[in-house]
Amino acid sequence: MTFQYQRLAEQLAQRIYQHELQPQQKLSSLREFARQQCVSLSTAQQCYELLEAKGLIYVKAKSGYFVSSRQYQSAVPDSPSFESKARQVSNLDLQNQIQTASIQNHLTPLGAIQLSPHLIPVDGLRRSLQRALKHCQPEDFLYCNRQGHEQLRKALSDHWREDGIYVATDDIFISNGCMPALSLLIQQMSQEGDSILIPTPTFNGQLQMLASLKRKIIEIPADHRGIDLERLEFFMKQGSAKLCLLTANFQNPLGYCLSHQQKQKIAQLAQQYQCFILEDDIYGECSFQKERPLPIRYWDQQGYVIWCGSVSKSLSSAYRVGWFCLGQQLQHLRPQLLANNIGVNTPLQLGLADFIYSRGYREHLEGLRPKLMQQVEQYRAYILEVFNGIPIALSQSQGGYALWMQLPENMTGLALYYLAQSQGINIVPGEVFGEDLRYQHFIRLNAGHALTTEIRQAIQQLADWVRESYLSQSRL
């Protein structure tokens, strides 16, 4: 359970992390803050004390509360300019190699973006599975409807409604994770050789999937502010692609969250040019704030946005339960989608439905968000501390737990990847997040695990290798 003072502290912390509140800026007095938030003086005091304990604010005698100086600031990673054109994904072999390595559990887990088991509500999930099995109906032990069990579809619909997202139960399809849902949709909505619009840099797993499906890509520039909407519209208008695959909320690897205006614009462009949007919203429930950001689908009036997601990033990567939601424009594909959708384990579906209806999932999310915010900030502070003196840049995430890091120009992500692998450390090199080696001086790091001694030592080793390379180059 999250108390009111904790929610208020979370909101203020987010404003500090996003630089809305600057170092040394004076905060409202306790009485004024209590009046503004319509809370008691004791609640306001608990809020400020929590922020003070985290080192985000400090108190001056007879002067009030102030925002603490953040010792470790960083530059924003560069966004190289490039020409957008239809092309094949050229590095499938490397993609496959990196993907295989990223899930090797014996390596220090800085590679695959996944939550630590310590952040997973194991006991609550176990109780939900037990209750689900206890109350199963005889038909639940037969083949399940390929659209997914109605109980889970209804639970998801009710769950989303609390966040202002309205999807009819009959429009929800349950899948074995988000990537299988995207793969199924792409195969039904396009042909081999067709082009897909994607932001770049983008999740390497999506590039791997598109290459395996023999689809071409048209890369649209993206940075910490979002995607280049002018170039996106240019290619939509041109008709070069009738399908766009993107993430609006806490995109991997950049971490951006598009504004309401940007999301609404994308929905309007999709309708105007009849270009379907596959919206991968897998990180949508990993916000650092209490409110879940709305998906692009919220502004979709004509059914051109297909909303996809999963619980793999917000709950557990072992729960291979995802979904996609059809709009009116694609109802004619329902028979093909049902025929090709692989049925999901029924007890698992029922267990997740119970977890949602018992409020276990909602309570888990309320507790997870402030923990993620604090944990990601701890990673950023430690990385910038040990890399001090080296010209790097590091993303400032708004949610999720991927960190995008730019290295000095004399160190490539791939070289650092191989060096780290040899020492039992797993990272993902920037080469696999786009074409033309434009991200060869970048790496992506996972901040989903607690910053343990093992992980600190691994990050320190990365810093030592980069520093040695940087200093040796400087001596030349």
DSSP 210-235: HHHTT-EEEEEEEETTEE-HHHHHHH
Integer Cα distance of 277 and 245 in angstroms: 6
DSSP 402: E
pLDDT tens-digit profile of 296-330? 999 999 999 999 999 999 999 888 899 999 988 99
For 44-104, what is the HEC assignment?
HHHHHHHHHHCCCEEEECCCEEEECCCCCCCECCCCCCCCCCEECCCCHHHHHHHHHHHCC
pLDDT tens-digit profile of 186-201? 999 999 999 999 999 9
When pLDDT is averaged across residues 221-228 and rounded to a whole number, the result is 94
> Which tokens hold the place of 102?
């990223």
pLDDT tens-digit profile of 403-430? 999 999 999 999 999 999 999 999 999 9
When pLDDT is averaged across residues 99-123 and rounded to a whole number, the result is 89
Confidence (pTM): 0.85
For 148-189, give the DSSP string.
--HHHHHHHHHHHHTTT----GGGEEEESSHHHHHHHHHHHH
> Which tokens hold the place of 442?
């970048």
Say if CB 196 and CB 349 are below 8 A apart: no
Q: What is the pLDDT of residue 2?
A: 61
Which SS3 state, helix, strand or coil, does residue 403 take? strand
pLDDT tens-digit profile of 357-383? 999 999 999 999 989 988 998 999 999
Question: Where is pLDDT greater, at 34 or 106?
Answer: 34
Does the pLDDT value for residue 71 go beyond 60? no
Integer Cα distance of 234 and 273 in angstroms: 10
Integer Cα distance of 25 and 12 in angstroms: 13
Order across the sheet with 402-406: list the strands: 393-394, 402-406, 442-446, 428-429
Burial degree of 24 (CB within 10 A; 0-12, 13-18, 19+): exposed
Band of the pLDDT at 474, cuts 50, 70, 90?
low
Q: What is the pLDDT of residue 139?
A: 83
Integer Cα distance of 415 and 47 in angstroms: 45
pLDDT tens-digit profile of 268-299? 999 999 999 999 999 999 998 888 999 999 99
- Distance from first CA to last CA of the chain, Å, rounded? 58
Left (φ > 0), alpha (ψ -120 to 50) or beta: where does 359 sit? left
Tell me the average pLDDT of the chain.
Answer: 92
Does the pLDDT value for residue 150 go beyond 90? yes
Q: What is the pLDDT of residue 447?
A: 97
Q: What is the pLDDT of residue 20?
A: 80
Query: If you count them, how many residues does the chain have?
Result: 476
Domain range 362-474, its CATH number among 3.30.43.10, 3.90.1150.10, 3.40.190.150, 3.20.20.150: 3.90.1150.10
Band of the pLDDT at 254, cuts 50, 70, 90?
very high
Residue carrying the six token digits 């993620």:
372
In the chain, the percentage of residues whose pLDDT exceeds 90 is 74
When pLDDT is averaged across residues 114-120 and rounded to a whole number, the result is 93
Fold type of domain 4-67: Arc Repressor Mutant, subunit A (1.10.10)
Measuring CA to CA, how many Å separate 263 from each of 271, 305, 431? 13, 11, 28
pLDDT tens-digit profile of 30-58? 999 999 999 999 999 999 988 887 678 88
Q: What is the pLDDT of residue 49?
A: 86
What stretches of 202-356 adopt beta strand conformation (E)? 216-223, 226-227, 243-246, 276-280, 305-310, 322-325
Sorted by where each begins, the domain ranges of the chain are 4-67, 86-99+120-361, 362-474
Does the pLDDT value for residue 73 go beyond 70? no
pLDDT tens-digit profile of 334-349? 999 999 998 889 999 9
Fold type of domain 86-99+120-361: Aspartate Aminotransferase; domain 2 (3.40.640)
Does the pLDDT value for residue 476 go beyond 70? no
